[in-house]
Amino acid sequence: MNIPTQRLTPDAQGLSAATAFLRAGALVSFPTETVYGLGADARNGTAVARVFEAKGRPSFNPLIVHLAQVAQARGLVVWSDAAEVLASAFWPGPLTLVLPLRPRHGLSSLVTAGLDTVALRVPAHETAQKLLRAFDGPVAAPSANPSGKISATTADHVMAGLSGRIAALLDDGPCPVGLESTIIGLDGADPVLLRAGGLPQEAIEAALGLPLALPAGTSITAPGQLSSHYAPGAAVRLNAREAKAGEVMLGFGAMPCTLNLSETGDLAQAAANLFDHLHRLDAMERPIAVAPIPDKGLGRAINDRLRRAAAPR
């Protein structure tokens, strides 16, 4: 695969070029408030197949479908009271809802990996919104990184991983949240937290008025939960108070370190920096020690990503 990847600016000209690529079944990376997505027309099976090819992703992993507006969701899935509560509270935003598909939904079965549910998200990022409105249809988009690698939160990360494999990239600077969306399963009796992410679990539980269940058993309902996901090349050691000889250190709070997620101990700032700092430390090709991160609010999602980065592989 060697396609010249066009780097587009998020102005009228860039957006219309990006829209034309999507209509033609080509791949376009675009920013969202969480991470950069690798977008394809969700109704076009060939386009969706190119996403798996570009990422080198196992084909059993279903993709998130991005929509401009909540109203588009109702045509694709069986809507519910819980979906209404969460969509009105948090869409557009860093939340993905898994819901039962309706008949004649029109999505490629590759998007859902043959499941009878689909993951939907209405992103808030201005450029994502403009692209989705101009395209006027569902856009399947996983995070814009090669499979198993760290998610991309800047245009440079996207280019480093996917240049030559995608038609275009809309470059609109760093992603403000920096962590993937929180995924909630609404296809069973109780809402289930499938992936911790950019929207804190506590906020979702407050809106629903009940605690979220965790996925039952050992079956992987969100295969992005495979343990060694988000892996840098080097070994990662968690809950480190300080670097050992030869290690680089990812800090949190005031401390000596190579790079600091947030000197003031701000979890939102840490989330926004997480993947960029991991990319930069990874480039130093030395083992990475990581300071302890408080396990509350966004800290839970950060710790989830760090545990995956540290998992044996």
Residues that bind ligand TXA (CB under 6 A): 32, 34-35, 37, 61-64, 96, 98, 112, 115, 117-119, 121, 141-143, 180-181, 183, 194-195, 221-224
C-beta of 260 vs 273, nearer to Mg ion: 273
Q: What is the C-alpha to C-alpha distance for residues 223 and 156, in angstroms, rounded to an integer?
A: 26
Residue 99 DSSP SS3 = strand
Whichever of 55 and 277 has its CB closer to ligand TXA, that residue is 55
**Per-residue tokens: 307:** 């545990």
Is 262 one of the binding residues for Mg ion (CB under 5 A)?
no
Which range touches Mg ion (CB under 5 A), out of 104-112, 126-134, 139-147, 236-244? 139-147
Q: Which of 20, 32, 25 is nearest to 173 (CA)?
A: 32
Enumerate residues 66-95 that contact Mg ion by CB under 5 A.
none
Contact criterion met (CB below 8 Å) for 114 and 59:
no
Q: Three-class SS of residue 43? A: coil
Total number of residues binding Mg ion (CB under 5 A)? 1
Give 199 or 236: the residue with its C-beta nearer to ligand TXA. Answer: 199
Among 29, 143, 153, 182, binds Mg ion (CB under 5 A): 143
Instruction: Count the residues in the chain.
Output: 313
Q: Which does 221 bind (CB under 5 to 8 A by kind): Mg ion, ligand TXA, none?
A: ligand TXA
Q: Which is nearer to Mg ion, 62 or 185 (CB)?
A: 62
Largest distance between two CA atoms of the chain: 59
142 vs 251 by CB, closer to Mg ion? 142
The one of ligand TXA, Mg ion, none whose footprint includes residue 72, by CB under 5 to 8 A per kind, is: none
Residue 127 touches which of Mg ion, ligand TXA, none (Cβ within 5-8 Å per kind):
none
Closest to Mg ion by CB, 143 vs 273, is 143
Q: Of Mg ion, ligand TXA, none, which one does residue 199 interact with (CB within 5 to 8 Å by kind)? A: none
Of residues 107, 129, 95, 116, the one with CA closest to residue 40: 107
Q: DSSP 3-state assignment of 47? A: helix
Bond into 103 cis (ω within 30): no
Neighbours of 286 (CB within 10 A): 16
Of 115 and 226, which CB lies nearer to Mg ion in the complex structure? 226
Does 108 contact Mg ion by CB under 5 A?
no
Min dist CB 244 to ligand TXA, Å, is 32
Write down the least CB distance from residue 140 to ligand TXA, Å.
9
Give the count of beta carbons closer than 10 Å to the beta carbon of residue 150.
Answer: 26
Of residues 105 and 308, the one with the C-beta less far from Mg ion = 308
Residues in CB range of 75: below 8 A, 6 or more apart:
102, 105
Q: Are 34 and 152 in contact (CB under 8 A)?
A: no
Query: Of 166, 169, 170, whose CA–CA distance to 4 is shortest?
Result: 166
Cα separation, 267 vs 254, in Å, equals 13
Segment interacting with Mg ion, rule: CB under 5 A, options 94-102, 140-148, 211-219, 271-279: 140-148
Provide, rounded to whole angstroms, the least separation between the CB of residue 35 and Mg ion. Answer: 7
Nearest residue to Mg ion by CB is: 143
Q: Which residue is nearest to ligand TXA (CB)?
A: 224
Measured CA to CA, the distance from residue 243 to residue 247 in angstroms comes to 6
Chain contacts with Mg ion (rule: CB under 5 A): 143
